[in-house]
Amino acid sequence: MDDSRLISLLTPGMSLDLFAEGDRLRVEGFGAPGRSWLGDAPPGLFGVEIDGQRYDASSLPLVGVGEADAETGITQIVARFGDGRVQVDHHLRGYEGAALVETWQTVRNVGGEPLHVTRVDSLAWSLLPDEYTLLHYDSDWGREFDLRRVSLREAVTLETRCGRASKGQHPWFALIGADGAVFSGAVAWSGNWVMRFEPGDGGVLLSGGLHDWAFARDLLPGESLDTPRVIVALGADLNAASQQFARVGRQWWYPRNALSAQLPVEWNHWWSYEDRDIDENVFRANVDAAAAMGCEIAVLDAGWFGPSEAGSPWYALRGDWDRVNRARFPSGLAALADYTRAKGLKFGLWCEIEGLGEQAALADDRPDFPALRDGERLGYVCLGNPAAEDWAYAMLARLIEETACDWVKLDFNVDPGAGCNRTDHGHGAGDGLLAHYHAYYRVLDRLRARFPEVVLENCSSGGLRIDLEMLRHTHLTFLSDPDWPTHDLQIFWGASTMLAPDACLHWSFSEWCNPDRPVQQTFDPRDPALTPHQLDTYTRIAMLGAMGISQKLPDLPDWVRARLAGHIRVYREQVRRFVREADVFRLTDQPQRDGSSDRWCAFQYRLPDGAAHLLFVFRLAGAEASRAIRLARLRTDCMYTVETVEGERIAELRGRDLMDAGLRFDNLPEDGSTLLKIAISG
């Protein structure tokens, strides 16, 4: 190796320098100018445990460093380590203009004997000592994005062992230094993951990626294993770090087609009807109303499949996607899709292709498909079986072709835990979950290649599988099943620390037909006490990302229907451009479901050129009567016009004043909101 060789990743907000010194790699920097995050401990960079021995960049000899072929605007550095038995290609990828790096490895058996791999850390870095505050999110059904703040003075482990990326904790964190600068990271993996923070006198040892709990993979000679990607981003504050994820996601990660880029306003039947009350006539009546209101797609959720009995239980029959419930849909799905398109709407269909209900005939027809752990069924189809992977792809392709649907909502309502340990599927006893997710990603990619204009929506009991790898294979993700207002604001605040708003789909406050609904799920559009300002607030919250509604549209009072139609028109004509293109600034702290937090909530959307902004302001119940909202990233000496989306002029103020003193809101009622346009005057 040439000791003088230097390879750099350099952007306006980040530098990362790699020096090859003999058979070792030295890493310096990773920080904004004048600010490094990396400590002086030996550069592990990654960690691999094989046959009980740990390998990293300080123990494996460096045998080569180079730049991999990459697209314009991407720099990918590959450092190769090896000892004649194991070879590790360590990948670092940077993006033009972004203060963000991806890291992962390819572990290859280059010897003559099998290798037993029991741990792979995609990232193993040493950070400088500091008074760090660690931010992370706990998560469960209906409790996604519960923010936690921890003073990082003792070891902390963030993890998921449920088999779904966002069940337990979300695969995201942020470290805030004493100077307020932010180092944020995310594990791009849909199954079990871990991030370990081990403070000491020498700083913080940060490691993680794929969880080593219950994991093992045997690599035969010539075989290789790609580790999940860990992505780290920098920012002067949390908004700046979050914007790195969003910008790179939009440009490089998220799939896009014409319909997903449009961000169509969605109507979905689920919470108002579930499977018990949905049928062909109900769906058609809602399509008629949705078309008149300006919706652009109607999605048929669960309840369409299984035996032809009106009371067929959807959950128990998941897997029997080849059977349409003719009691509910006597004309079939293709006719329903045709009716929807004839009314000017796109048609979408729900499917839980991985799920396997207790009564599904599929398990009897294909006993090689069920995921088993120690002989017990886990409730899903193990796609680690190549035959099951091909079946899943063929079944989804068949549904798309038969209905010519424009959108598929892909759900997953199971906790796989450690996953399948059958050894007749083509995977080993310790890597069934790994094999399942790699196969699922391949299914999604094959579908997008064959049906490039069909939107794939990610869902998992609401928001329990939200991660940056899934967002490379699907077009957008559903944030949560419940949708009451404070919850909605909390989850969007949290999701926007990792995702661009156009990747986030959620519904306005829904009317649930389920008697076991959460106690906060109280929306009744026919309640005489419902006020226009409350309805405005409930609807504007859904405009923060991709907009959806789940209401009994034909039964709405006339004034509610008309007001919703007006909001849909505003979203289509004025808001969704900002959702697609703008940086998001969280101008207030995260609202909390229990009411313990700030009861004002505001988001600013800033278009890339900085000339136009959109401001959402919400006053929740219990908030103080008045609040000044300070804006961000305006041009200090420019004059800005502030007006409502209806065109009513509110003020003309200098950028400096809008940032320092802010806009004061004195007249918003509780459960009230406003939506303002702010643009450079002239």
Q: What is the pLDDT of residues 532-585, one digit of tens each?
A: 999 999 999 999 999 999 999 999 999 999 999 999 999 999 999 999 999 999
Q: What is the pLDDT of residues 324-337, one digit of tens each?
A: 999 999 999 999 99
Q: All domains of the chain, ordered by start, with CATH?
A: 6-253 (2.70.98.60), 263-354+405-415+455-583 (3.20.20.70), 585-680 (2.60.40.1180)
Helix (H, G, I), strand (E, B) or coil at 227: coil
Give the model's pLDDT for residue 42: 67
Give the model's pLDDT for residue 5: 53
The pLDDT > 70 percentage for the chain reads 99
Average pLDDT over every residue of 657-675:
97
CB 221 within 8 A of CB 111: yes
Centroid of chain to Cα 266: 18
Give the model's pLDDT for residue 32: 84
Q: Which residue has the higher pLDDT, 667 or 18?
A: 667
Give the model's pLDDT for residue 200: 86
Average pLDDT over every residue of 252-260:
98
pLDDT mean across residues, the chain: 96
Q: Which residue has the higher pLDDT, 34 or 260?
A: 260
Q: Which residue has the higher pLDDT, 657 or 30?
A: 657
CB 83 within 8 A of CB 60: yes
Q: What is the pLDDT of residues 187-234, one digit of tens each?
A: 999 999 999 999 988 899 999 999 999 999 999 999 999 999 999 999
Q: Two tokens at 288?
A: 């008629």
Give the model's pLDDT for residue 4: 52
Side chain identity at residue 365, one-letter code: D
Tokens 């959807």 sit on residue: 314
Give the model's pLDDT for residue 17: 84
Give the model's pLDDT for residue 27: 82
Backbone φ and ψ of 383, nearest 5°: -80, -5
Given a cut of 50, whether residue 1 has pLDDT beyond it is no
Distance, CA of 640 to CA of 656 (rounded, Å): 10
Tokens 């293109």 sit on residue: 581
Given a cut of 70, whether residue 6 has pLDDT beyond it is no
Q: What is the pLDDT of residues 472-493, one digit of tens each?
A: 999 999 999 999 999 999 999 9
Side chain identity at residue 53, one-letter code: Q
pLDDT band at 2 (very low <50, low <70, confident <90, very high): very low
Q: What is the pLDDT of residues 346-361, one digit of tens each?
A: 999 999 999 999 999 9
Average pLDDT over every residue of 140-150:
98
Give the model's pLDDT for residue 494: 98
Cβ-based burial of 614 (10 A; exposed 0-12, middle 13-18, buried ≥19): buried
pLDDT band at 256 (very low <50, low <70, confident <90, very high): very high
| Beta bridge pairs of residue 677 | 614, 643
Q: Picking from 8-22, 173-187, 297-311, 526-540, which range would have the lowest pLDDT averaged per residue? A: 8-22
The pLDDT > 90 percentage for the chain reads 90
